[in-house]
Amino acid sequence: MRGLSVRSILLIVGGGIAAYKSLELVRRLAERGIRTRAILTSAGAEFVTPLSLSALTGDKIYSDLFSLTDEAEMGHIQLSRSADLVVVAPATADLMAKLANGLANDLASTTLLATDKKVLMAPAMNVRMWESAPVKRNRAQLEKDGVLFVGPNDGEMACGEFGPGRMAEPLEIVAAIEKALAVDGALKGVRALVTAGPTREPVDPVRFLANHSSGKQGYAIAEALARAGADTTLVSGPVSLTPPQGVKLMRVTTAREMLAACEAALPADVLVMAAAVADWRPDIAANSKIKKSADRPQDARSAAEENRVPLIKLVENPDILATLAAHAARPRLVIGFAAETDDVVANAVAKRGRKGADWIIANDVSGDVFGGARNQVHLVSESGVEDWPDMTKSEVGARLAARIAEKLKGAA
Ligand code: CTP
C-alpha cells in the first residue's frame, strides 16, 4: 500500500523569466514527498525545456490540448482531478486573465477551468503590469472565486525595474503549498491522545534513570492534530519545549504517572504513543539521598561485592501502549513508535503484533534523531509498510495527521 498518502500537485508553468525557479520548486517538493505532474505552456517552453522539467518530475510533460496520445493516456480533465492541488508558477498576467474570465483555449487554461481542486497562483510579471487596472481586477475576481495567492514579492526585476512583481521564492511557494494541502478541519470532532518525551524514574530525591528523548516529535504530532481540528490531550514527560497552542497539556514524570494520566484522558479516538517510556524503574526510590560510603574500595566490582556501593534493582514498568491497546475503552486507532537501532522494519512489524497496536511508526535511532529537527520513518500498518522520505518532525506530524484523518474518515 505504499504511496496511499503521497500528496501530489499539478504544476502549470507559464511563460516568464521566473520559470527557472519552478524547476527548483519541483525539487523542493520532491524532498518533502510531494509529487509533481507538470503542464508547460507554449510561452513557458520558451524559458525552460520540457526535458529539464520532465527529468525533475520523473514524468512526461503535458503541453498540448489536442494531443491524441496525451488525451488517451491522461485526459485534461483527469490531469487536474488526479492532483490534490493545482499550482500555477509563474502565473502570468495572461493565465490570470484567462481563468478570471473563463477562457479555455489551451491545455493550461482548460485544465484550470475544469479542475475541482484548489488553485494556488504565484504571480510573476513586470511591476507596471502587476499594478495595471486589468490585472488588479482579475486578481480581485480570482480571490473572490477562491484562488489562493503567494507573492509576488518586492524587488529588482529582470527588466531592471523595482517593485512588486517578482515571483515568490521556491521555499515560500512550498510553504504555501503545504498550507493549502493541510488537512484543516479534517479531524474536527476527533479526540486525540498523544504522549511525548522521556519518563524519569527516581533512584533517590536527586538521581533518576531517563533517556535522550527530546519530545520534539510527539509535540509536533500533537500540534498537527490540534491544527487539523482534533480535541488533543498531550501527556508529556519532562522536556524543555513550549506546549503547542490549543492542546490540553498534562505533565508527568514517571511511567506509572504517564499511564494514570492516559487512562484519565480516555476515551479517545486515536492514541499516538510517541513517548520514550523507561522500560524499567528502580525497585525502591530512596527517600533521602543515597550517600557514598566513606572508605571507597579500589574498583566498583569489589565495592558491590562488599556491599559498599548501592546495587539498584530494576523492576519492569507497565507497558502503556500494550495496556491501552487492550483497554476496555481502547481508542479506535492505536499508534505506537518503535525506536530501533537494528532491523528497523522487521522489529517494528513484530512490535505491532506484540503490543496490539494498529500502526507502528518505526525510526532508526542509531543516528542523531534524538533532539534533532528531522526524522525518517516507516509506517507499519495493517496493509504493509510505507517508507516516508526524510522530513522535518513537523512534516512527519502533518503527514501523520493527514493519514489519521484518512483512516478515521474511511472507517466512519
Ligand atoms: N512503550 C510504552 N510503555 C513502555 C515502553 C514502551 O507504552 N513501558 C511504547 C512507546 O511509547 C512506543 C512503543 O511502546 O510507542 C515502543 O517503544 P520501544 O521503546 O521501541 O519498545 P520497547 O517496548 O521498549 O521494546 P524493545 O525495548 O524490546 O525494543
**pLDDT score, position 277:** 98
Number of domains into which the chain is organized: 2
Q: In what order do the strands lie in the sheet with 377-381?
A: 248-251, 231-236, 191-196, 270-273, 333-340, 359-364, 377-381, 384-387
Question: Mean pLDDT, the chain, as a whole number?
Answer: 89
Tell me, yes or no, whether 186 lies in a domain.
no
What percent of the chain is modeled with pLDDT above 90?
A: 68
Which residue, 181, 202, 219, sits at the end of a domain?
181
Q: In what order do the strands lie in the sheet with 85-91?
A: 61-62, 34-40, 7-13, 85-91, 119-123, 148-149
CA dist., res. 407 & res. 214, Å (int)? 28
For 191, how many CA atoms within 13 A lie in the half-sphere containing its CB?
A: 10
Residue nearest to atom 12 of ligand 1 (CA): 337
The secondary structure of residue 382, as a DSSP letter, is T
The verdict on 271 and 202 lying in the same domain is: yes
The verdict on 201 and 112 lying in the same domain is: no
Q: Which of the listed residues 319, 324, 333, 360 should we mutate to test ligand 1's pocket, taking the one with most ligand atoms within 8 A of CB?
A: 319
Tell me, yes or no, whether 116 lies in a domain.
yes
The answer to whether the beta carbons of residues 326 and 308 sit under 8 Å apart is: no
Name the band, by pLDDT with cuts 50, 70 and 90, for residue 24.
very high
What percent of the chain is modeled with pLDDT above 70?
A: 90
**pLDDT score, position 17:** 93
The verdict on 149 and 11 lying in the same domain is: yes
The answer to whether the beta carbons of residues 22 and 47 sit under 8 Å apart is: no
Q: What cell does 394 get?
A: 513537523
pLDDT at residue 14 greater than cutoff 50: yes
Ligand 1 pocket (Cβ < 6 Å) reads 255, 273, 275, 277, 279, 317, 319-321, 336-339, 351
Lowest mean pLDDT, pick from 149-153, 250-254, 327-331, 408-412: 408-412
Looking at the CA of residue 317, tell me the nearest atom of ligand 1: 8
Q: Tell me the mean pLDDT in the region 43-51.
A: 96
The verdict on 10 and 141 lying in the same domain is: yes
Q: Residue 28: what are its φ and ψ, rounded to 5°?
A: -65, -35
Q: Which of the listed residues 212, 235, 270, 273 should we mutate to test ligand 1's pocket, taking the one with most ligand atoms within 8 A of CB?
A: 273
Beta bridge partners of 91: 123
Tell me, yes or no, whether 300 lies in a domain.
no
CATH of the domain at 156: 3.40.50.1950
Distance 219 CA to ligand 1 centre (A): 18
Tell me, yes or no, whether 305 lies in a domain.
no
Interval 282-341: pLDDT, tens = 999 999 998 886 555 456 566 566 666 788 999 999 999 999 999 999 999 999 999 888
Q: Which of 351, 362, 365, 369 is nearest to 385 (CA)?
A: 362
Which residue, 161, 181, 201, sits at the end of a domain?
181
CA distances from 341 to 219, 234, 279, 347, 368 (A): 23, 27, 16, 10, 11
CA dist., res. 383 & res. 281, Å (int)? 36
The verdict on 210 and 134 lying in the same domain is: no
Lowest mean pLDDT, pick from 66-75, 113-122, 260-269: 66-75
The verdict on 35 and 104 lying in the same domain is: yes
The secondary structure of residue 2, as a DSSP letter, is T
**pLDDT score, position 237:** 98
**pLDDT score, position 1:** 29
More confident residue, 151 or 3: 151
The verdict on 115 and 71 lying in the same domain is: yes
The verdict on 112 and 206 lying in the same domain is: no
Tell me, yes or no, whether 308 lies in a domain.
no
The verdict on 167 and 265 lying in the same domain is: no
**pLDDT score, position 292:** 80
pLDDT at residue 232 greater than cutoff 80: yes
CA dist., res. 13 & res. 20, Å (int)? 10
From the candidates 159, 284, 300, 346, give the one annotated as an active-site residue. 159
Q: Tell me the mean pLDDT in the region 42-71.
A: 87
- Please report how the helices 170-181 and 393-411 are oriented relative to each other, as an axis angle in degrees rounded to 10: 30
Which residue, 138, 154, 181, sits at the end of a domain?
181
The verdict on 167 and 217 lying in the same domain is: no
* Residue found under cell 493516456: 73
Q: Residue 190: what are its φ and ψ, rounded to 5°?
A: -95, 135
Beta bridge partners of 256: none
**pLDDT score, position 302:** 64
DSSP per position, 173-196: HHHHHHHHHS-TTTTTT-EEEEEE
Residue nearest to atom 4 of ligand 1 (CA): 319
Tell me, yes or no, whether 297 lies in a domain.
no
Name the band, by pLDDT with cuts 50, 70 and 90, for residue 4.
very low
Tell me, yes or no, whether 290 lies in a domain.
no
The verdict on 242 and 152 lying in the same domain is: no
3-state percent breakdown (helix, strand, coil) of the chain, nearest 5: 35, 25, 40
Catalytic residue status for 159: yes
Tell me, yes or no, whether 302 lies in a domain.
no
SS3 call for 270: strand
∠ CA 177-65-76, rounded to 5°:
50
CATH of the domain at 382: 3.40.50.10300
Interval 345-361: pLDDT, tens = 999 999 999 999 999 99
Looking at the CA of residue 318, tell me the nearest atom of ligand 1: 8
Which residue range(s) make up the domain with 157? 2-181
For the beta carbon of residue 200, count every other beta carbon within 10 angstroms.
20
The verdict on 360 and 249 lying in the same domain is: yes
Residue nearest to atom 18 of ligand 1 (CA): 338
